[in-house]
Amino acid sequence: MKKHIISPILGFFALSFFTACGDDDFNQTDFTHPVGGNQITLNCQSELDENKITWKADSKIGFFCEQTNSKNLTVGLAAPFVGKTEGVFYTKVVWKKGEQHTLYAYTPYNKSNVSEKSIAGTLSNSQSQNGVSKDHLTSSAITYSVVKTAEVADAIPMIFKHALGYLDLRCTTADKFVGWKIKSIELSTNDNTPLAGKYQFDMTTEKLSFTEGFDKIVLRTNNATEITANEAFHGYLSVNPIDLTDKKCNIKIIIEKAEELDRQLNGIVDGIRIEPSRINAMDINIDNLEAEFLEDQSIDLSKDETANCYVAGKAGQEYRFNATVMGNGATTPAGNSANYKGIIPTPLSPVSAAILWQSERNLLTGVKLKNDCIYFTLNGSKDIPLKPGNAVIAAYDANGIIVWSWHIWVTDVDLDAKAQTYTNIHKDYSAFPKFQSPVVMDRNLGATDNEIWTSATDSKGAHGLFYQWGRKDPIIGPSTESANAFATIYDGNNNLTSFDFTATELIKRDDIAKYPMKYIKGDNWFAEDAYDLWGNSAAYTANGGDGSVGSKSIYDPCPPGYRVPHPYIWSGFTSAAIGGKHKGGTVTTTASGDITKQGGVTFDNGGPVIYPSTGFINQGALQRVAPAGNGCISLWSNAGAKAKFSSQFYYDATNCNTPKANKRTFGFGVRCIRDIQK
């Protein structure tokens, strides 16, 4: 074995940084050493203040090596090293014989980085902390390591350290604020000295520079502990490593307590020298700060109507909703058969609330139950744009059992303004007034855009979420990396989590709300044959039946003012009836072409109506999402069809079914319509 020289420079602890968006250098399944020549293998360790940090399943590094012509390759952690402080990263890069190599590695990976001399990133001025943990620092850290070595047979040790500095804001009280909780801490400078912002980092010179800085930074807390006398609450921030010893800093702390108005504590503190790769302590006696009362500044999403889904879109804004009502709180009356038993809601009395899953780390912060409402705060700030996505917040009883859960659809799009009126309901249904001119969302429920899928667009953005028929609980759609793989989700602590796609036990009526992360396999998910879970709509009939469209139920997954559509809204997508009224026929317009080559279809119905290729979930697996794999559109209506079956809208290369009967266990999308009962 040849001797190697290790040159530790600044680096990174990789507890929960961002996941790369493709272009993997080595994407293997068995995580053994690559077959072939002598590839470069890295053994990476990371530490902060001499504390070794464990690697996560989604840990990825960026890799440069001039001698091998390697430029910003993304390399994933080998699976056996998840949760360990020594992480092995296999590459396909082969040593160049007889030459000294300079190896550069950094995290978090950013596909836009073109040189080891210019590692770009953004340190957000809006950060969040769970309890007293400092694990959140890893999501904002920039770390790297440089090693000079000739070819070796073993993995090259690389010690990662940090380029940023870290603050420990140690807040104490003697007695004045004992029992209160820290809600947020804001730190700012008076002379435009940047604490956060866009930066460039040169791994060859160890230089960090902020190209666009913010002189204010805020830390929001989740599940903060109560302040005790003379015991510090530690608020941890990632910041620009600068010398503030000759400066004064402004501090603004918001504290909260049950049954009390929030208070804002204002003051000025002495600055300190913030050294890189260290947690630097700043002491704050909150008893010396000026206090003022704050009115509730949150926005009540349930003010006009309660629902199972709420849309929120203002970056950094706090929201709340009523947590005592099941869905919209409506009674669904019993019908004339055993399949229409009716639904009667009961008041909820939760004792706690928490994020069940979220599509992005720190999508939501500050989740809490207070005064019968659930509060949460969106990511971003005045300076940092909103990160869109989806999350589910669960409410629990005293035994930790979920009593209800709510979907938070994070988007700044004005969905009401984007809604479309379908004017081409087929003439055969002209006798039914409630079928005419439905107002329909321009995107699927949970979608962050309304584009047709292409390789250049975000493959998960337009798909939205999936639902088993009659359930209120969403299931995440496809990832950006593979259309047939589910997108990554995180829990409230920003750790990876996942749905259970293996469950087979049918859910009973009293337990519908208890298992929001279980997809039930089989022919049905429900332990009875109910037709009215999404309202008491009549089963689909070719002649339109009595023209009824049903009503919104407590299990309806759509936001206030909207509901799951009746099955006749798509009748105008066909111009001829085949096999019964509008179950199939000639499509009016397919402006986007063959769905097997395009990521969806644009129909003509009072204007261009975009439907992306959604695919579906079948027995726990995503199928027919990617257009190259014979993609299709699959969306539920609120109507039943027959035992264990309900009515869907279905479109593929050879069929346009408006509707089609399919098993209720399938996971399909939902395109919400305006609730005409309102």
What was the pLDDT predicted at 594?
Answer: 58
Mean pLDDT of the chain: 88
Q: How far apart are the first and last CA of the chain?
A: 77
Q: Bigger pLDDT: 410 or 361?
A: 410
Q: Give me the mean pLDDT over the 65-74 stretch.
A: 94
Percent of the chain at pLDDT > 90 equals 67
Q: pLDDT category, 335, cuts 50, 70, 90?
A: confident
Q: Greatest CA separation found in the chain?
A: 86
pLDDT over threshold 70, residue 37: no
pLDDT over threshold 50, residue 20: no
Least confident residue range of 446-460, 499-513, 514-528: 446-460
What was the pLDDT predicted at 33?
Answer: 64
Q: Determine how β-strand 489-490 pairs with β-strand 496-497.
A: antiparallel
Q: Where would I find the beta strands (DSSP E) of 458-596?
A: 467-468, 489-490, 496-497, 562-563
Q: Give me the mean pLDDT over the 249-257 stretch.
A: 96
Least confident residue range of 76-80, 81-85, 211-215, 334-338: 334-338
Cα–Cα distance, 105 to 107 (Å, whole number): 7
What was the pLDDT predicted at 601?
Answer: 82
Q: Give me the mean pLDDT over the 330-337 stretch.
A: 90
pLDDT over threshold 60, residue 590: no
Do residues 571 and 584 lie in contact, with contact meaning Cβ atoms separated by under 8 Å?
A: no
Q: Give me the mean pLDDT over the 344-351 stretch.
A: 97
Q: Give me the mean pLDDT over the 201-207 stretch.
A: 96
Q: Bigger pLDDT: 580 or 332?
A: 332
Q: Bigger pLDDT: 607 or 68?
A: 68
Candidates 12, 81, 69; CA nearest to 40 is 69
Q: pLDDT category, 19, cuts 50, 70, 90?
A: very low
Cα–Cα distance, 6 to 144 (Å, whole number): 13
Q: Give me the mean pLDDT over the 39-52 stretch.
A: 88
pLDDT over threshold 70, residue 36: no
pLDDT digits (tens, 9 = 90+) for 283-314: 999 999 999 999 999 999 999 999 999 999 99
pLDDT over threshold 60, residue 1: no
Candidates 546, 535, 605; CA nearest to 575 is 605
- Residue 179: burial class (beta carbons within 10 Å; 0-12, 13-18, 19+): middle
pLDDT over threshold 90, residue 219: yes
pLDDT over threshold 90, residue 384: no
What was the pLDDT predicted at 458?
Answer: 52
What was the pLDDT predicted at 229?
Answer: 97
Do residues 540 and 557 lie in contact, with contact meaning Cβ atoms separated by under 8 Å?
A: no
What was the pLDDT predicted at 28?
Answer: 38
**Residue 382 corresponds to which amino acid?**
K
Q: Give me the mean pLDDT over the 359-370 stretch.
A: 93
pLDDT digits (tens, 9 = 90+) for 532-586: 999 978 888 888 888 989 999 999 999 999 999 999 999 888 765 443 344 444 5
pLDDT over threshold 70, residue 31: no
CA 225 vs. chain centroid, Å, equals 26
Find tokens 């055993």 and name the residue.
338
Least confident residue range of 75-84, 540-549, 664-673: 540-549
Q: pLDDT category, 276, cuts 50, 70, 90?
A: very high
Q: pLDDT category, 605, cuts 50, 70, 90?
A: confident
Q: pLDDT category, 202, cuts 50, 70, 90?
A: very high
Find tokens 């930074």 and name the residue.
217
Q: What are phi and psi of 576, to 5 degrees?
A: -140, 145
What was the pLDDT predicted at 6?
Answer: 33
Q: pLDDT category, 427, cuts 50, 70, 90?
A: confident
**Residue 436 corresponds to which amino acid?**
Q
Q: pLDDT category, 677, cuts 50, 70, 90?
A: low
DSSP lists the bridge partners of residue 309 as 407
Q: Where would I find the beta strands (DSSP E) of 499-612?
A: 562-563, 600-604, 608-612
Q: What is the pTM of this model?
A: 0.88
Cα–Cα distance, 44 to 160 (Å, whole number): 7
Q: pLDDT category, 628, cuts 50, 70, 90?
A: low
Collapsed DSSP state (helix, strand, coil) of residue 293 = strand
Q: Where would I find the beta strands (DSSP E) of 338-495?
A: 352-358, 364-370, 373-378, 389-396, 402-410, 420-421, 439-440, 467-468, 489-490
CA 352 vs. chain centroid, Å, equals 21
